[in-house]
């Protein structure tokens, strides 16, 4: 694509992805760095981009310290319990102590937060969640970010990070292309904050036809947050910790408000409770963890799955009683209209009125992300004032690559951040990046012309491949020389589903399966060189696929490395069916070597807050 213009953009702090983490990063970078040039680059339009495009009905991470509701320590315990013991407690504490100031700022900006008429406090949905009228949550937060940044570049798909040509292991910027004009963009920056969201469409979704886009996490969550750092050798953690969710059938409507606020509950296809049935089998697998309060998300999934396997599905949410209360009925519907409109559509289409019918639930396909009840992502340095040495090598939220920061779904080890925690983590990264830039002085990174020109060639290759290949065939989508992005995506989803624990295998994996999976992924990765794109939109799809494939390789390498079943209900190692604290009460870390295509795996220790440590493994 010699004809495409190259645009150079210089900055002090470059934020990749203008979602919740990215908006927080932009705001805080500006607050602390008045003299800095802060640039945000976003593949869609920051007004409605990311996982919060359609809004949210709750803020799922709020301490309420001002009312003595929770302290950061309580939050850390909650994270740890839910994730079966393995979280970065230093990072979690940090989110907990700052997140309230974020939420108070959101309220000041104009986000309607519901209040409890009796207490005057924010209306709680559950212990950690508060209820909002969040249709415009994203545009409101985007307004603050737009004002804070020197420039927001919308519709630029970032494809690769650039490394410093003088100093190894130091980031120097990023490249990408404008999805509208096709122009090639070279961003040079002293610090880079990756906040590019999580990953859907790594595993095959339930619906593979027109409805394949109606996944739980947004179809545009394309794993860039992982692929960008992985490629340049940043260490990743807990990538095996994919999440599977209990959701309303077909629409993936969330169940949180239903369980917590509406007090609905589940039963099997015969109207019976089923969780107690599986308690003993869970204890056999995970021991004492079954006694955690609340019961970890994955273990509740496990009971659901076993009950369905036993032939007593479908599992239903009992809504008939709660929906008799008109207030609850409104909450039930608005909950979807505010964040998962598709669920309201599915119910309207099927004549499902939860007042009269108890709607079906389903167990979703796995997702890879770092901000929900799961914590896949990059390995990051902890807060300076207390993080143990093994968790601290520089600036807060900096990855193992100098100058490369992350926030939200991008960073691993910190589950249950959700929207407010992701924004808060962006703020932490923004402040730390500002400090990093100050400390650089004149020792600033430099991009290499050779590197970005080579990447430019790679980036536009699918257009050329298609142009040439297209002339060999009469018409249609079948070509012997090129692979369309959609075909490649479907191949990826099938491989991951069948060989890495998707729905089709009832979330079951073992070493032989994954060994074969890795071979298949390798051939897919080779075939990506033959991706063909008929235009800029498909070129975006092509690079999203590249990112998903690299992230999938990483997920598989991690899943293979952890020889235990830590989170039954998320996935099972058939060859290591039990939780094994003696050997695996630790983080898994990987580091990718682009030259060899290998992931080097290691263990990293888990530190617990001292007052509730269980010293020895049973």
Partner 1 sequence: MPTFVYMTSCDGCGHCVDICPSDIMHIDPVTRRAVNIEPNFCWECYSCVKACPQNAIDARGYADFAPMGHSVRVLREEDKGTISWRLKFRDGREKHFESPIRTTAWGSIKCASEYEIPSNEAINSQELAHEPDYLKTDQGLPSVTVDHFIKYELAPASAAKKKSKKVSAQAAE
Given the rule CB under 6 A, which residues bind ligand FAD?
Answer: 16-22, 41-44, 49-52, 56-61, 157-158, 195-197, 216-218, 220-222, 224, 254, 339-340, 371, 408-409, 418-420, 422
- Does residue 440 touch partner 1 according to CB under 8 A? no
Contacted entry of partner 1, ligand FAD, none for residue 386, CB cut-off 5 to 8 Å set by kind: partner 1
Residue nearest to ligand FAD (CB): 19
DSSP 213: G
Nearest to 51 by CA among 404, 410, 298, 486: 410
Give the nearest distance from C-beta 226 to ligand FAD in angstroms.
10
- Does residue 115 touch partner 1 according to CB under 8 A? no
Give the nearest distance from C-beta 180 to partner 1 in angstroms.
9
Nearest to 248 by CA among 377, 335, 130, 156: 335
Q: What angle do CA 272, 274, 276 make, to 5 degrees?
A: 125
Task: Take residue 360 and report the two structure tokens written for it.
Answer: 């079906």
Q: What angle do CA 588, 221, 192 make, to 5 degrees?
A: 70
- Does residue 518 touch partner 1 according to CB under 8 A? yes
For partner 1, the closer of residues 218 and 282 by Cβ is 218
- Does residue 27 touch partner 1 according to CB under 8 A? yes
| Count of residues that interact with partner 1, criterion CB under 8 A | 123
Give the nearest distance from C-beta 450 to partner 1 in angstroms.
27
Residues 129-168 within binding reach of partner 1 (CB under 8 A): 133, 135-136, 140, 143-144, 147-148, 155
For partner 1, the closer of residues 240 and 275 by Cβ is 240
Handedness of CA 374, 380, 384, 389 (dihedral sign): positive
Select from 1, 7, 341, 503 the one that contacts partner 1 (CB under 8 A): 341
Cβ contact 124:130 at 8 Å? yes
For ligand FAD, the closer of residues 106 and 507 by Cβ is 106
The residue with tokens 């509208």 is: 180
SS3 per-residue string spanning 453-484: HHHHHHHHHHHHHHHHHHCCCCCCCCCCCCEC
The secondary structure element, H or E, covering residue 360 is none
- Looking from the CA of 72 toward its CB, the CA atoms found within 13 Å total 14
Give the nearest distance from C-beta 340 to ligand FAD in angstroms.
5
Contacted entry of partner 1, ligand FAD, none for residue 309, CB cut-off 5 to 8 Å set by kind: none
Give the nearest distance from C-beta 86 to ligand FAD in angstroms.
19
The residue with tokens 């850390």 is: 76
Cβ contact 33:11 at 8 Å? no
Cβ contact 391:381 at 8 Å? yes
Give the nearest distance from C-beta 601 to partner 1 in angstroms.
6
| Other Cβ atoms closer than 10 A to 266 | 21
Q: Which residues pair with 113 in a beta bridge?
A: 132
Select from 5, 8, 101, 457 the one that contacts partner 1 (CB under 8 A): 101
For ligand FAD, the closer of residues 16 and 236 by Cβ is 16
For partner 1, the closer of residues 1 and 586 by Cβ is 586
DSSP 365: P
- Does residue 310 touch partner 1 according to CB under 8 A? no
Contacted entry of ligand FAD, partner 1, none for residue 56, CB cut-off 5 to 8 Å set by kind: ligand FAD
Give the nearest distance from C-beta 432 to ligand FAD in angstroms.
16
Task: Take residue 542 and report the two structure tokens written for it.
Answer: 């092509």
- Does residue 469 touch partner 1 according to CB under 8 A? no
Distances (CA, A) of 441 to 116, 277, 444: 50, 63, 7
Residue 104 buriedness (CB in 10 A; 0-12 / 13-18 / 19+): middle
- Does residue 93 touch partner 1 according to CB under 8 A? yes
- Does residue 44 touch partner 1 according to CB under 8 A? yes
Contacted entry of ligand FAD, partner 1, none for residue 422, CB cut-off 5 to 8 Å set by kind: ligand FAD
- Cα–Cα distance measured from residue 234 to residue 617, given in angstroms and rounded to the nearest whole number: 30
Task: Build a one-symbol-per-residue string for 539-558: x at contacts with partner 1 by CB under 8 A, - elsewhere.
Answer: -x------------x--xx-
Cβ contact 488:527 at 8 Å? yes
**Helix 224-231 and helix 536-561, axial crossing angle in degrees, nearest 10:** 70
- Does residue 100 touch partner 1 according to CB under 8 A? yes
For ligand FAD, the closer of residues 163 and 542 by Cβ is 542
Give the nearest distance from C-beta 389 to partner 1 in angstroms.
8
Residues 209-248 within binding reach of partner 1 (CB under 8 A): 209-215, 218-220
- Does residue 446 touch partner 1 according to CB under 8 A? no
């Amino acid at each position: 694509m010699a004809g495409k213009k190259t645009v150079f953009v210089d900055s002090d702090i470059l934020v990749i992805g203008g979602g919740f983490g990215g908006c927080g990063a932009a705001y805080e970078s500006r607050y602390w760095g008045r003299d800095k040039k802060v640039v945000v680059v976003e593949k869609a339009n920051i007004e409605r981009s990311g996982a919060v495009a359609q809004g949210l009905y709750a803020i799922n991470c709020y301490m309420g310290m001002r009312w003595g509701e929770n302290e950061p320590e309580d939050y850390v315990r909650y994270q740890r319990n839910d994730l079966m013991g393995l979280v970065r407690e230093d990072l979690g504490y940090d989110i907990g102590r700052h997140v309230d100031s974020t939420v108070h700022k959101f309220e000041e900006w104009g986000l309607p937060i519901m209040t409890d008429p009796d207490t005057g406090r924010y209306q709680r949905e559950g212990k950690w969640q508060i209820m909002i009228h969040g249709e415009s949550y994203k545009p409101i937060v985007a307004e603050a970010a737009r004002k804070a940044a020197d420039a927001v570049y919308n519709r630029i798909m970032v494809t690769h990070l650039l490394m410093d040509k003088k100093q190894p292991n130091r980031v120097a910027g990023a490249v990408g292309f404008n999805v509208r004009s096709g122009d090639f963009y070279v961003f040079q920056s002293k610090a880079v904050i990756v906040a590019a969201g999580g990953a859907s469409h790594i595993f095959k979704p339930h619906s593979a036809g027109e409805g394949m886009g109606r996944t739980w996490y947004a179809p545009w969550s394309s794993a860039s947050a992982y692929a960008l750092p992985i490629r340049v050798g940043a260490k990743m953690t807990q990538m095996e910790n994919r999440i599977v969710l209990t959701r309303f059938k077909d629409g993936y409507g969330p169940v949180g408000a239903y369980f917590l606020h509406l007090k609905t509950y589940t039963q099997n296809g015969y109207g019976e409770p089923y969780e107690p049935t599986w308690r003993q089998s869970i204890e056999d697998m995970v021991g004492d963890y079954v006694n955690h309060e609340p019961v970890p998300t994955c273990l509740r999934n496990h009971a659901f799955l076993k009950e369905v396997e036993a032939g007593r599905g479908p599992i239903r949410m009992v809504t008939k009683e709660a929906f008799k209360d008109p207030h609850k009925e409104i909450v039930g519907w608005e909950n979807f209209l505010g964040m998962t409109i598709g669920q309201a559509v599915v119910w309207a289409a099927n004549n499902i009125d939860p007042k009269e019918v108890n709607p079906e639930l389903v167990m979703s396909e796995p997702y890879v992300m770092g901000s929900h009840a799961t914590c896949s992502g990059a390995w990051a340095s902890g807060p300076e004032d207390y993080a143990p040495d093994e968790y601290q090598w520089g600036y807060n939220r900096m990855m193992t690559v100098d100058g490369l920061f992350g926030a939200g779904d991008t960073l691993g080890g910190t589950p249950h951040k959700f929207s407010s925690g992701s924004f808060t983590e962006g703020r932490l990264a923004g402040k730390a990046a500002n400090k990093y830039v100050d400390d650089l002085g004149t020792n600033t990174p430099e991009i290499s012309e050779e590197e970005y020109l080579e990447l430019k060639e790679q980036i536009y290759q699918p257009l050329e491949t298609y142009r040439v290949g297209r002339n060999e065939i009469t018409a249609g989508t079948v070509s012997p020389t090129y692979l369309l992005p959609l075909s490649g995506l479907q191949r990826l989803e099938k491989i991951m589903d069948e060989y890495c624990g998707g729905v089709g295998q009832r979330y079951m994996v073992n070493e032989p399966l994954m060994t074969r999976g890795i071979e298949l992924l390798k051939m897919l990765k080779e075939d990506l060189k033959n991706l063909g794109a008929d235009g800029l939109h498909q070129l975006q799809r092509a690079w999203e696929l590249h990112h998903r494939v690299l992230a999938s390789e990483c997920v598989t390498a991690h899943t293979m490395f952890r020889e235990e079943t830590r989170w039954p209900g998320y996935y099972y190692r058939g060859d290591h069916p039990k939780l094994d604290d003696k050997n695996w009460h630790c983080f898994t870390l990987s580091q990718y070597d682009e030259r060899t295509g290998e992931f080097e795996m290691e263990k990293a220790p888990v530190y617990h807050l001292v007052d509730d440590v269980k010293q020895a493994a049973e």
